[in-house]
Amino acid sequence: MLSRSAKIPQSRWADIQLFAMDVDGVLTDGTVSISSDGNESKRFSILDGMGIVRLNKAGVAVAWISGRKSEATSVRATELKVPHLIQGRTDKLMVLQELASRLSLNASQVCYMGDDDIDAPAIAWAGVGVAPEQSMPAALKAAAYVPSRAAGLGAVREVCEHILESRGQ
């Protein structure tokens, strides 16, 4: 699938005050490694991490909303100083709306990126809904934008760049 960035006006990217995203299949390639002793590991892109750091510096709130709890996710969120980490909640839309309300934001000020059926309502609700190209059909159908880079390999950074460029950064 090709990038659909041309369909999103620059003004919509400029309105974004919160970039929220799923973790597995968005910040990672969707795989989890679990060793025989039960330790879990994930691969996170340095490109995505730098985009998140730059958004934080630009004053854009960042949130990770994951349906499953993971110590690897917690460690990476701490490294990147992600201010809003919500794990173990599968109703992504409810979580996203609660967070937006807490931050006094409306849907048009929120970008949400997810890859699975449980993400689709949040993708559809957000002012800019995003799904990586390898996402499930429901997520892709809900998305207004599909990054050209793959999940776990710079897809998040691509979205960060759109937000930052719309602000002249």
Kindly report, residue by residue over 95-111, the tens digit of the pLDDT.
Answer: 999 999 999 999 999 99
Task: Say how many C-beta atoms besides its own lie within 10 A of residue 102's C-beta.
Answer: 9
Residue 94 belongs to domain with CATH number: 3.40.50.1000
Mean pLDDT of 61-81: 96
Which residue range is the domain that position 19 belongs to? 5-166
Domain count, the chain: 1
Tokens of 117: 């059926």
Closest CA to 34 of 71, 1, 65, 9: 71
Which residues on adjacent β-strands are paired with residue 129? 112
Q: How confident is the model at residue 4 (pLDDT cuts 50, 70, 90)?
A: low
The pLDDT > 70 percentage for the chain reads 96
What is the spatial distance between Cα 29 and Cα 52, in angstroms, rounded to a whole number? 17
pTM: 0.93
Q: Which residue has the higher pLDDT, 5 or 9?
A: 9
> Alpha-carbon torsion 76, 113, 25, 116, what sign?
positive
Bridge pairing between strands 33-34 and 40-41: antiparallel
pLDDT at 128: 97
